[in-house]
């Protein structure tokens, strides 16, 4: 089968398309013929060996797929192996795609949709009275988080680095959009939040994390789910105590053994799409052979919405 293989850690150039033998099916896993492989920021960290969990080399990256399982349309969360014509996933993390949902939409809801849903509902426990800060609001996760937050009735302060992306966030329901590259980001966020936000998502680290933290109101809470800047960020416990602010980390694989939690989120996401409460921005699809370019574009923030690979080309 054709697959993207990493022989070494490094930049996008280490992603090579090769013909490899299909791996033996693992216990409690299902074989999926892949039609779409999701590309996520986590894959960039896997590639340069900065991910939360290390991987052995050689390695086929990719943690989510859409495809066919015995003729049935499914999406699945995987532990690698997604950038290929054939992948395998545990039964616990494989979900049927409803007839009225297309593969691209279902894929966008699988890893990034699940993450956005659990960040807001499970971690932040967002309420209609809250004001929440959403970073990368035109990206795959952020664009869904904006809409899911508005669905609860919360006020949404979106962050994005270009005028075009801020306009997209506003069109998806954000109440106000802030330039994430601003030299006065903390005060911009605080002003946009009417003096301070009750809740915030954070996935950058470094100065952006500190600015977002500063923009939280007393007793405000933050959910951290990434560190795309690559900067290990320290937070003062004195600052946390003096303002009563809280930070909780989140990593979706922690829920992979909790089928009920995953099912609840998927069913609610499908329902929200069906009722037009959320809209999935157009998915940007690259050929499997262009995996390196997909990584380059994602890292450079040249994409909006979900990014995926097509294993058929």
Each of the 313 residues of the chain gets a pLDDT tens digit; together they read 999 999 999 999 999 999 999 999 999 999 999 999 999 999 999 999 998 888 999 999 999 999 999 999 999 999 999 999 999 999 999 999 999 999 999 999 999 999 999 999 999 999 999 999 999 999 999 999 999 999 999 999 999 999 999 999 999 999 999 999 999 999 999 999 999 999 999 999 999 999 999 999 999 999 999 988 888 899 989 889 999 999 999 999 999 999 999 999 999 999 999 999 999 999 999 999 999 999 999 999 999 999 999 999 9
Same domain, 9 and 77: yes
Tell me whether residue 260 is in a domain: no
Same domain, 176 and 63: no
Q: Which residues contact 135 (CB under 8 A, 6 or more apart)?
A: 142, 159, 180, 201, 202, 203, 204, 208, 212
Give the CATH number for residue 127: 3.40.50.720
Domain of residue 288, residue span? 2-97+282-310
* Per-residue pLDDT at 16: 98
Tell me whether residue 265 is in a domain: no
Q: Which of 117, 96, 129, 109 is nearest to 220 (CA)?
A: 129
* Per-residue pLDDT at 58: 97
Tell me whether residue 268 is in a domain: no
Same domain, 90 and 156: no
Same domain, 246 and 178: yes
* Per-residue pLDDT at 309: 98
CA quadruple 22, 262, 303, 74: dihedral sign? positive
Q: Which residues contact 313 (CB under 8 A, 6 or more apart)?
A: 287, 288, 289
Tell me whether residue 60 is in a domain: yes
* Per-residue pLDDT at 52: 84
From residue 267, give the alpha-carbon distance in Å to each of 110, 153, 258: 11, 20, 14
Q: What 3-state class would DSSP assign to 160?
A: strand
Rounded (10°) CA dihedral 13, 108, 54, 137: 80
Q: Do 288 and 37 meet the contact criterion of CB atoms below 8 Å apart?
A: yes
Same domain, 86 and 200: no
* Per-residue pLDDT at 12: 98
Sort strands 2-6 and 15-19 into parallel, antiparallel or unpaired: antiparallel
Same domain, 230 and 134: yes
Same domain, 175 and 201: yes
Residue 305, Cβ neighbours under 10 Å: how many? 21
Query: How would DSSP label each residue in 62-124?
Result: -SEEEEEETTEEEEEE-SS--SBSEEEEEGGGEEEPPTTS-HHHHHHIIIIIHHHHHIIIIIS
Same domain, 153 and 212: yes
CA–CA gap between residue 22 and residue 71 (Å, rounded): 19
Q: Which of 236, 253, 270 is the last residue of a domain?
A: 253
pTM: 0.95
Same domain, 35 and 76: yes
Tell me whether residue 75 is in a domain: yes
Tell me whether residue 108 is in a domain: no
Domain tally, the chain: 2
* Per-residue pLDDT at 229: 86
What are the backbone dihedrals phi and psi of residue 236, each rounded to the nearest 5 degrees, phi first? -75, 125
- Consecutive H or E run containing 189: helix 185-192
Tell me whether residue 103 is in a domain: no
* Per-residue pLDDT at 74: 98
Same domain, 46 and 120: no
Same domain, 120 and 234: yes
Tell me whether residue 229 is in a domain: yes
- Consecutive H or E run containing 262: helix 259-274
Give the CATH number for residue 17: 3.90.180.10
Same domain, 289 and 198: no
């Amino acid at each position: 089968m054709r697959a993207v293989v990493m022989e070494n850690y490094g930049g996008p150039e280490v992603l090579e398309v090769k013909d490899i033998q299909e791996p033996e099916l693992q216990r409690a896993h299902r074989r999926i013929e892949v039609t779409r492989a999701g590309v996520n920021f986590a894959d960039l960290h896997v590639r340069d060996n900065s991910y939360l969990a290390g991987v052995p080399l050689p390695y086929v990256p990719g943690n989510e797929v859409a495809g066919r399982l015995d003729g049935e349309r499914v999406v699945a969360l995987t532990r690698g192996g997604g950038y290929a014509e054939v992948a395998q996933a545990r039964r616990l993390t494989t979900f049927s795609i409803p007839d009225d949902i297309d593969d691209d939409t279902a894929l966008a809801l699988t890893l990034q949709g699940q993450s956005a849903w659990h960040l807001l509902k499970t971690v932040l426990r967002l309420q209609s009275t809250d004001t929440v800060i959403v970073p990368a609001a035109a990206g795959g996760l952020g664009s869904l988080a904006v809409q899911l937050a508005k669905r609860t009735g919360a006020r949404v302060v979106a962050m994005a680095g270009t005028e075009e992306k801020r306009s997209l966030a506003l069109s998806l329901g954000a109440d106000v959009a802030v330039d994430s590259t601003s030299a006065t980001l903390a005060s911009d966020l605080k002003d946009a939040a009417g003096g301070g936000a009750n809740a915030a998502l954070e996935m950058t680290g470094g100065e952006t994390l500190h600015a977002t933290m500063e923009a939280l109101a007393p007793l405000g809470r933050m959910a951290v789910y990434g560190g795309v800047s690559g900067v290990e960020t320290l937070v003062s416990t004195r600052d946390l105590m003096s303002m009563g602010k809280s930070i909780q980390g989140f990593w979706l694989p922690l829920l992979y053994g909790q089928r009920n939690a995953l099912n609840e989120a998927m069913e609610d996401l499908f329902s929200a799409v069906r009722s037009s409460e959320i809209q999935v921005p157009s998915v940007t699809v690259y050929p499997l052979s262009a995996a390196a370019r997909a990584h380059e574009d994602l890292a450079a923030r040249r994409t909006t919405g979900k990014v995926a690979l097509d294993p058929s080309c």
